[in-house]
Amino acid sequence: MLSADLTNIAAHLPEMARRQPDTPAIIFPCGNRTLTFRELNGLSDRIAHGLVSCGIGRGTRTVLMVTPSPEFFALTFALFKTGAVPVLIDPGLGLKNLTQCLAEAEPRAFIGIPKAHVARLLFGWGKETLRTFITVGPRLFWQGTTLKALIGGGNETALPFPLAPTGADDVAAILFTSGSTGPPKGAVYSHANFAAQVETLRVIYGIEPGEIDLPTFPLFALFAPALGMTAVIPEMDFTRPGSVNPRKIIGAIKTHGVTTMFGSPALIDRVGRFGAGHSTRLPSLKRVISAGAPVRSSVLETFAAMLDPGVEIFTPYGATEALPVCSIGSREILEETRRITDAGGGVCIGRPVPGVRLEIIEISDDPIPLWHDSFRMPLGQIGEIVVQGEQVTRRYFNRPDADYLAKIADPASGGFFHRMGDLGGRDELGRIWFCGRKSHRVTTSNGTLFTIPCEAVFNTHPMVARTALVGVGHPGEQLPVLCVELAKGKRIDRKKVRRELLEIGASHIHTNDITTILFHSGFPVDIRHNAKIFREKLARWAAGRLA
């Protein structure tokens, strides 16, 4: 362990290997592979020794493009142990975004599966800065070494690797945003950021060592070993959680007695609908966590029917740059806040978690260099959400322009606020109500329309899967257009639905100006969670349809 004034997020793994050495750390049903905490720690030590031997050490920015596997876990902890800086980018961001992200990150090393190395060569990723190459799997015609060669021929007794003496503010990793509302940006995580995340998740959800976790998002899978949980990695395409096979998710939960599950709203919806049709029960689950986008109350209700009484689905709010910020459980949503949401009051995301200071300020698209208390909006009014806390990242990598727009210096605390890019308000109970992305607000000649409050009203229609409000035209004079994705597997009279949606809109003061409705076969969504709607793409589509 490190001394009190030093922090390395990898320190959790050797500590768990000491406390529960023979407990499985990760289980991969695909291939029937299991590593105990002792084995995972030992493998990451061997890899760490190998990394240092080929020049990957403290501060080395290292692209990691490895599919979820024992090697992915061991490599990530090994990089943290050496003090290197993993660069994590979703492979589904698209060629243009991937190329831009890798250019901005200026990596010195590249660790990837063969397919990733082929793409690196074909598209010239990092050719100006990359110097070290490691292949997880067979190396073909490219330079470098393999992970197998790096760790030697089956030597299971490598000496423990001494953790790099990193400080709390030292860079631990660069995590790129999903790019759902603009170009992806690399959030710079410090070791203190990660440590705060782990501790906050442990406290607010009461997670204890020895529990079994089913993480369906690779980054969340890394929290499990740090929290002392066994991670069961499901058989699925992690880039398409909305298309997951529900039988495999449910099977993994039942086979391994999973106590905690993380899933995107799209995955929760798919598994919940399957469970409802098969009278499925999941008694081992103590909690379910869903994040990435607002979760409709009907989705929570359907999934909750599979759980034991008292077990909740929690929907934490946050972003790549700051997570978690708020949290709320399904009981409060289903018993109370859903009625307000359905009436257009926004989605309740709960109260700020311990250690987070959240403020609602006047909406602005301009930079705000310095914080002032006069920026605060009164209770009940919609404004911009800004946050401060240990889990909030301080900057983006190589993006001073983005820092200028997203960060507000706070001289009084010696810290800063991060502008979430989201809109919302606070009620008299201290709860926060999410009203959509700032960049998605629709400004008409009659005023401003906020996406989530407007869409929620129309989402109550039984034939509607989801809606998206977009603006066509110049800001200040935009035409509000409601894009509608209809429920699948049903015969639907579109003319009747259109008429009924117009009646619903006319019955609410904040939606009665929405009279243009377009039906869309399937909304474009983010690759990470399959839940965030790309409203910018829908706005261009709508403009083309109305031209």
Which residues neighbour 366 within 8 Å (Cβ) at sequence distance 6 or greater?
A: none
Strand partners, 133: 110
DSSP letter at 439 equals G
Pair type for strands 347-352 and 85-88:
unpaired
Phi and psi (nearest 5°) for 54?
-105, 20
pTM for this one?
Answer: 0.94
pLDDT (0 to 100) of residue 178: 78
Pair type for strands 407-410 and 415-426:
antiparallel
The C-alpha atoms of residue 290 and residue 314 are separated, in whole angstroms, by 6
Asked if 266 contacts 531 with a C-beta cutoff of 8 angstroms, the reply is yes
Domain segments of the chain as ranges: 9-191, 234-352, 355-426, 440-546
Amino acid at 418: H
Domain 355-426 is found in CATH 3.90.45.10 = no
The C-alpha atoms of residue 49 and residue 116 are separated, in whole angstroms, by 24
Instruction: Please give the span between the terminal C-alpha atoms of the chain, in angstroms, as a whole number.
Output: 64
Enumerate residue ranges in the chain where pLDDT < 70. 1-6, 153-157, 180-181
The answer, yes or no, to whether the previous bond of 86 is cis (omega within 30 of 0) is: no
Angle at 429 between CA 533 and CA 197, to 5 degrees: 55
pLDDT (0 to 100) of residue 241: 87
Token representation of residue 241: 């959680």
Amino acid at 310: G
CATH topology of domain 9-191: Rossmann fold (3.40.50)
The C-alpha atoms of residue 287 and residue 214 are separated, in whole angstroms, by 11
The answer to whether the 9-191 and 234-352 domains have the same CATH topology is: yes
Q: Right CATH number for 234-352 from 1.10.533.10, 3.40.640.10, 3.40.50.980, 3.30.1330.10?
A: 3.40.50.980
pLDDT (0 to 100) of residue 337: 97
Phi and psi (nearest 5°) for 426?
-120, 135
- Please report which residue ranges of 85-146 form alpha helices under DSSP H: 95-105, 114-123
Maximum alpha-carbon separation in the chain: 71
**440-546: CATH number:** 3.30.300.30
Phi and psi (nearest 5°) for 528?
-75, -45
Asked if 386 contacts 408 with a C-beta cutoff of 8 angstroms, the reply is yes
The C-alpha atoms of residue 45 and residue 108 are separated, in whole angstroms, by 21
The C-alpha atoms of residue 106 and residue 113 are separated, in whole angstroms, by 20
- CA 411: distance to chain centroid? 30
Asked if 241 contacts 32 with a C-beta cutoff of 8 angstroms, the reply is no
Instruction: Write the secondary structure of 375-429 as one string of H (helix), E (strand) and C (coil).
Output: HECCCCCCEEEEEECCCECCCECCCHHHHHHHEEEECCCCEEEEEEEEEEEECCC
Determine if residue 109 is left, alpha or beta; phi over 0 gives left, psi from -120 to 50 gives alpha, anything else beta.
beta
Determine if residue 236 is left, alpha or beta; phi over 0 gives left, psi from -120 to 50 gives alpha, anything else beta.
beta
**Integer Rg of the chain from CA:** 24
